[in-house]
Amino acid sequence: MENPQIPRPRPRNLVLLGCILLVLLVIGAEALRWTRNAHAAAKPSLSAPGAAGPVTLTELSTTHIPAPHGMPSAHASTLTPLPGNRMLAFWWAGSRESGPDVKVFASTWANGAWSAPWVVASRESLGAELGYGVRRIGNPVAWTDRNGKIHLYVVATGLGGWAAARIAHIVSQDGGASFHVRRVLPTSPLFNTSALVRTAPLALNDGGWWLPVYFEIGNKYPMLMAFDADGNPTSLARIGQSTSTLQPAIVAVSQTEVRAVMRDDSDQRRMQHASSVDGGASWQDLPALDLPNHNTSMAALRLPGGQFLMLHNHAADDASARSVLRLSISQDMRSWRTVADVAKGKVGDEFSYPTMQLVGDELHITYTWQRQAIAHHRYRITPGGTI
């Protein structure tokens, strides 16, 4: 009687079959993801048009945001609006810059007053959620999305100084009362280090936003990370070719043209400038502006009437790099006129790291006051006048 034998698959055939399955898995996963992601890049959003022409700025109040108890050092404020003409401010405070006790604090602006500050991020809270250590905490940058979620980007360093910085993306769904880590943004192949934030995001027409980022190990250069309306990153690109500029302040000139003014770390000591005419896809370095910049940060925004405001340090003969904080205005982002010196002190004083936010018809300005507190100025913007 014939002995029937069941044919056994050869090992080589099994390997081939397994390989085909793996490749099909890769192709399937990539195809699925690609079909979900296929959408056009968003364009910068222009603020709602207002009356064009000169405006008047009337100072309404000057104050300091209440400082957390026992925290003598404060720096790097950021503002974001809340519904009902309210506003949130974030900044870091601690015993000293880079100190282990530095934390990010928040305070709410409502009914003409600031609330008591509360902690929103520390190296302990970030480390516990990330699953690995954070050595020091730095600049925060805030954004409120169209669903009311508050996205806070916090500089959190790895092993080393600011050159080892990473950017933690934390999100609040309860108006800033509590935050949870969404992720650390991937920005560099060098252990994901040396990426920082400082300047305010720019709104896009699809509800997303651009987050200005910068790199600073040795060479310094600006970058831009785009987010969709849900706060998920969609792209990352470098701004220009410069290797000595950082902390880009980005303003939309039109739906296709965007300008970035940048802090200058070179011997030129002028405010640096770059432009994109294809909605931020590519950037060209422009000649430096005729404004001094001795390695200090600035803030810029577009008014509803189309003018541009910039808050920057003005280093004159009788001033040091950060002892004068000046508000300037421009029609074209090239020629700037002085509106006022928001803060002016003696040589060695520091009024730095400014931020601006439009809330209704009010312009809010915050900046670092002598590295000890966050100052807050409030102006009313009215059409007509000489500015």
49 HSE (CA, 13 A, CB side): 5
Nearest C-alpha neighbor of 303 from the set 381, 217, 236, 371: 381
229 binds other proteins (CB under 8 A): no
Smaller CB separation from other proteins, 32 or 177: 32
Of 9, 34, 83, 386, which lies in the binding site for other proteins, with binding defined by CB under 8 A? Answer: 34
DSSP 8-state symbol, 74: E
Binding residues for other proteins, how many (CB under 8 A)? 53
Are the beta carbons of 350 and 370 closer than 8 angstroms?
yes
Give the range of 48-56, 112-120, 138-146, 177-185 binding other proteins by CB under 8 A: 177-185
Give the contacts of 33 (CB within 8 A, at least 6 positions apart). none
Q: How far apart are CA 106 and CA 104, in angstroms?
A: 7
Q: Could you give the string, one character per residue 241-260, with x where binding to other proteins holds by CB under 8 A and - elsewhere?
A: x-x-----------------
Q: How far apart are CA 151 and CA 173, in angstroms?
A: 9
Q: How far apart are CA 156 and CA 74, in angstroms?
A: 16
31 binds other proteins (CB under 8 A): yes
Smaller CB separation from other proteins, 6 or 40: 40
376 binds other proteins (CB under 8 A): no
How many angstroms separate the most distant Cα atoms in the chain? Answer: 112
Give the range of 65-73, 205-213, 227-235, 339-347 binding other proteins by CB under 8 A: 227-235
5 binds other proteins (CB under 8 A): no
Q: How far apart are CA 75 and CA 372, in angstroms?
A: 7
Give the range of 75-83, 178-186, 266-274, 347-355 binding other proteins by CB under 8 A: 178-186
10 binds other proteins (CB under 8 A): no
Q: Could you give the string, one character per residue 115-154, with x where binding to other proteins holds by CB under 8 A and - elsewhere?
A: ------------xxxxxxxxx-------------------
Q: How far is CA 247 from CA 10, 81, 187, 202, 369, in A?
A: 61, 21, 15, 14, 19
Are the beta carbons of 236 and 195 closer than 8 angstroms?
no
3 state DSSP class of 93: strand
Minimum distance of other proteins from residue 212's CB (angstroms): 15
Are the beta carbons of 272 and 242 closer than 8 angstroms?
yes
Q: Could you give the string, one character per residue 179-218, with x where binding to other proteins holds by CB under 8 A and - elsewhere?
A: --xxxx-x-xxxxx----------------------x-xx
19 binds other proteins (CB under 8 A): yes
Of 14, 20, 113, 316, which lies in the binding site for other proteins, with binding defined by CB under 8 A? Answer: 20
Question: H helices within 38-172, ranges in order?
Answer: 123-130
Minimum distance of other proteins from residue 216's CB (angstroms): 9
For residue 284, what is the enclosing H or E element? strand 284-286
348 binds other proteins (CB under 8 A): no
Of 68, 233, 304, 305, which lies in the binding site for other proteins, with binding defined by CB under 8 A? Answer: 233
Instruction: Report the chain's terminal Cα–Cα distance, integer Å.
Output: 108
Smaller CB separation from other proteins, 177 or 281: 281
Interface ranges with other proteins (CB under 8 A) = 15-16, 19-20, 22-23, 25-27, 29-31, 33-34, 37-38, 127-135, 158-159, 166, 181-184, 186, 188-192, 215, 217-221, 232-238, 241, 243
